[in-house]
């Protein structure tokens, strides 16, 4: 069994925004959600659902599902 190192979604999202030079508003527009929802994710108060995760992966084709889900760094 492999050892799991859990990475919080808020940290993953923060890195995605930084790496792509995006504001919360730009990111929200790219995936079809409100900026306030992105803000909640960054605060760790909420997490995106399945359909939104798919939208993120479609919008950012170079992003792997494993990275987005915190399964790899």
Dihedral (C-alpha) 56, 59, 62, 65: value to the nearest 10 degrees? 20
HSE (side-chain half, CA atoms, 13 Å) at 59: 19
pTM confidence score: 0.87
> Using CA atoms, how far apart are residues 33 and 39, in angstroms rounded to an integer?
11
Tens digit of each residue's pLDDT (9 = 90 or more) over 10-69: 999 999 999 999 999 999 999 999 999 999 999 999 999 999 999 999 999 999 999 999
Contact 47, 41 (CB under 8 A): yes
pLDDT of residue 3 exceeding 80: no
Note the helical H segments in the chain.
Answer: 9-20, 24-31, 35-43, 50-59, 65-68
Q: What residue ranges define each of the domains in the chain, with the CATH number in brackets?
A: 9-68 (1.10.260.40)
């Amino acid at each position: 069994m492999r050892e799991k190192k859990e990475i919080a979604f808020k940290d993953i999202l923060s890195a995605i925004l930084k790496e792509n030079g995006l504001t919360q508003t730009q990111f929200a527009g790219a995936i079809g959600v409100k900026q306030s929802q992105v803000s909640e994710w960054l605060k760790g108060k909420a997490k995106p659902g399945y359909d939104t995760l798919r939208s993120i992966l479609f919008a950012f084709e170079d992003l792997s599902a494993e990275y987005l889900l915190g399964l790899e760094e």
